[in-house]
Amino acid sequence: MKKNLRYAILLFILLFVAVNEAIIEMRSTSWERPLIVHIYALSGDSRTASEAYVDALTSAHFKPMETFMNREARRYGMTMDAIKVEYHGRLSSHPPQPPSGQSVLENIWWSLRFRAWAWYRGWTSDKEHSDVELFVNYFDTATSTSLRHSVGLEGGLIGIINAFADKSYRGSNQVVIVHELMHTLGATDKYGVGNMPAHPRGYAEPFRTPLYPQRKAEIMGGRIPLSPQQSRMPEKLGEVLVGSFTAAEIHWPLDGDR
Ligand SMILES: [Zn+2]
């Protein structure tokens, strides 16, 4: 009996969160004004290299994301800026890391804890308005060769990004941050087996002839297809664009001249 009650309460909370977020997502992708995106940095492993890297970050570091989004939005016929990125410095309290496993329940539980953490953090600290909050965890490349996955909560308008604390990863970190930002706005992944982008949705130029090699990556396709079996990671946002499938998902007008 007690267990049933607990499930009922959890279900009720989930329903409440889902309805609430559907409304927020609809409102945030109506594009009546630029969305304010706040970025916070964290040292993921407290190592000297990542600490120093995080301390040296400035808003200039995240500017290319704003330039990229606004350029792409204009290509789709938007007449104003899509986003405004503001770097809000370093945080000392860490958001809960997403679970490494595939368990649905664990993921739901984590996403609720992450929402609660973000809500509490916002409530107790800065009162400045933001539409989207992205938390970037930086890890030392000397001890971290692979990172836990990054997650942008669809409709939650919050995302956690795991990134490398190294200059050479600056461009690819930005690609990952924009990818998660797109998720928070309702965009879906467009890759399949072996992380190969799905055709045509995950291709930057799906109808180009010859089709291969592609010159750019689609932001939600994630990689640049070189052949039907090979692809590579984009090294900077200059190698990425927003495809029309993704643009439609985030409700860009689609009447630009592309
Ligand atoms: Zn994704």
Q: What is the DSSP string of 89-102?
A: EE-SSPPPPPPSS-
CA of 4 to the centre of ligand 1 (A): 34
pLDDT, residue 60, reads 96
Instruction: Report the DSSP pairing between strands 158-164 and 151-152.
Output: antiparallel
CA of 156 to the centre of ligand 1 (A): 14
152 and 247 together in one domain: no
pLDDT tens readout for residues 162-205: 999 999 999 999 999 999 999 999 999 999 988 999 999 999 99
55 and 103 together in one domain: yes
CA of 107 to the centre of ligand 1 (A): 15
Q: How many domains does the chain have?
A: 2
173 and 204 together in one domain: no
CA of 254 to the centre of ligand 1 (A): 22
pLDDT, residue 1, reads 64
Residue that terminates a domain, selected from 185, 204, 225? 185
Within the chain, which residues score under 70 in pLDDT?
1, 126, 256-258
Collect residues with CB below 5 Å from ion ligand 1: 189
Q: Cβ(237)–Cβ(56) under 8 Å? A: no
Q: What domain range is 111 assigned to?
A: 2-185
- CATH code, 11: 3.40.390
CA of 2 to the centre of ligand 1 (A): 37
Residue that terminates a domain, selected from 130, 150, 185? 185
Q: List, in order, residues 6 or more apart from 74 with CB less than 8 Å away.
A: 256
CA of 222 to the centre of ligand 1 (A): 8
pLDDT, residue 258, reads 56
CA of 129 to the centre of ligand 1 (A): 26
Residue that terminates a domain, selected from 185, 214, 234? 185
41 and 116 together in one domain: yes
